[in-house]
Amino acid sequence: MLEKLQGILKSSVNFPSPPAIAQQIIALAADPDIDLVRVATTISKDPGLTAKVLRVANSPLYSKRRKSDNLRQALVVLGLNAATTLALSFSLVGTYRNIKGAGVDYLRFWRKTILSASAARAFAEQQRVAAAEDIFLAALLQDLAILAVDRVMPDFYQGLPKDCAHTDLCAYEKSRLGIDHAGLGSWLLGQWRLPETLCHSVEWSHAPSACEAGTRAGIAAACVALGGECVEMLLATQAPTDIGELAQHAEQWLGLDAESLAATMSTIVAEIPEIERLFDTALLPAETAAVMLEQARELLLIRNLQALEQVTTLQAATADLEARTSALEDQHRRDPLTGLFNRGHLDHVLREEFEAANKGGWPLSIVFIDLDRFKAVNDTYGHPAGDHVLVGTAQRIMTVARATDCVARYGGEEFVIVLPGLDSANAETVCRRLIVRLRKTQFAVQDATITVTASLGLATHQPDKPFAGVAQLLEAADRSVYAAKRSGRDRLVRHDPDHRGAHPGHATGGGLPRYSSP
């Protein structure tokens, strides 16, 4: 069927080839040595075409440039490529607008065609395409094959509704011809010896995804396709209520966000009156254009709200992730049995607090805690009972510590409290409170009730009597706790920097575990 149709089109007199002026312009466009004089001479042969080119050069579309009083000036303003492309557009439209058919609404066809070309050019300018007029011409010719088929097969489109959706039209053509009008149009333009890039832009005008995104051909095809989608909505029987699909395609094909799409659509609507003047055609009622513009603004608002919601969601997800990460990091810093900080984190805190104390000139106290006769608990009641005592002890230590203090399990039955900013006297008060609290704590272990006391060693790093480093400070607290053990347990021994030794705190005796150490 396709070969037969192509044969008919090649020999058809019903669908004319480009007019003589258009053929000459095509030849000029293909000539690498094109010059201003030849283009001016060719266009000037058609007074109507000359007037249109002058009108374009002086229109608001090019108002940022200087006024053109003659064709030569107009060609300079427009540039040779743009001038030849626009001249070809006017020539072809002037020729084919007068064709009448049976199965196609020609008035609607040309309104759609000219609007699509204008819209495609707006998208091309948004993308800063150098030759936006080439895309204008491609959009103008993208549906030309519909006219060709209608001329040689007058009843072909009669079975379709006049406001048939474009996808339905293409499906109908492929089912009957094996090709849609975009593919056939590309072939037809090739027969007319139009540039290959123009043929490709028409071929892919309704399927820009077939082109590689970001390439010159891909951008051209996307601009033409988006221009067509815009106009489909503008000319819809009912006012458009959702331009979400257009927005999706604009982002997918050209990377346009909602703000850029809304701005481009505003440009399209604003240029309609001038395009109508240039092509002497009423294209769109003002109220329809206003509805389209309002839809673009609504899209921008909706997308902005969606973006805000996405940001809020992302912030919530980020906060949740940070919380999870923090919890995981905290878990790695904790002793799995007692929940206190572990030895590794204690070392880190000690280094930071020692440095801060030196810079800030404030004291730093360290309390070393060693449970008395704890081995007897494990030996007598088993390790689960010992674990129970360790957890309970950790909880009691936390009750006397401040939120800014660091409480850690040093190892086995040993604990450490880091008291930033506390001098020896205030730190001793904390230690006394802990000793009393442990004496009053009873642990239910199997069928027995026991009390486990602790020996405490205190050392303080202060500006007037500093330690050389963290190791020396920790060692002083460690020596003090062993002095407390030797002095009878259940007491505090404070490191005395003046005598380079330990000084016993004022702890009262009693409350020892009700079993004897082995």
Looking at the structure, tell me whether residues 158 and 269 fall in a common domain. Answer: yes
Q: Looking at residue 509, what is its pLDDT?
A: 43
Q: What is the pTM of this model?
A: 0.51
For the chain, what is the domain count? 3
- Beta partners for residue 465, in sequence order: 462
Per-residue pLDDT, 167:
81
Contact between 459 and 480 (Cβ < 8 Å): yes
Measured from the Cβ of residue 481, the count of other Cβ atoms closer than 10 Å reads 25
Question: Helices (H) and strands (E) in the chain — how many of each?
Answer: 21, 8
Classify residue 318: in a domain, yes or no.
no
Contact predicate 461/363, CB 8 Å:
yes
Cα of 119 vs its chain's centroid, Å: 28
Q: Give the span between the Cα atoms of 444 and 452, in whole angstroms.
A: 11
The pLDDT value recorded for residue 433 is 95
Question: What is the signed CA dihedral for 95, 96, 99, 100, rounded to 10 degrees?
Answer: -150
Within-domain flag for 1 = no
Same domain, 276 and 151: yes
One domain for residues 46 and 160: no
Enclosing H/E stretch for 369: strand 364-371
* Whether the predicted pLDDT of 84 surpasses 90: no
Residues 58 and 111 in one domain: no
Of 158-167, 255-264, 323-332, the range with the highest mean pLDDT is 255-264
Percent of the chain at pLDDT exceeding 70: 72
Q: Is residue 316, in this structure, part of any structural domain at all?
A: no
Residue 398 falls inside a structural domain: yes
**Domain limits at 453?**
343-504
CATH number of the domain residue 212 falls in: 1.10.3210.10
Do 271 and 364 belong to one domain?
no
Q: Do 27 and 84 sit in the same domain of this protein?
A: yes
Q: What is the structure's pLDDT at 510? A: 38
Residue 188 pLDDT class (50, 70, 90 cuts): confident
Lowest mean pLDDT among 82-91, 298-307, 349-358: 298-307
Average pLDDT over residues 439-462: 93
Pick 356 or 52 by higher pLDDT: 356
Name the domain boundary from 274, 299, 324. Answer: 299
pLDDT band for 62, please (50, 70, 90 cuts).
low
- Name every residue whose Cβ is closer than 8 Å to that of residue 371 and which is 6 or more positions away in sequence: 389, 390, 393, 413, 414, 452, 453, 454
Query: What CATH number is associated with residue 492?
Result: 3.30.70.270
pLDDT at 484: 95
Q: How far is CA 153 from CA 12, 95, 108, 113, in A?
A: 11, 20, 19, 21
Domain-embedded: residue 305: no
The verdict on 378 and 494 lying in the same domain is yes
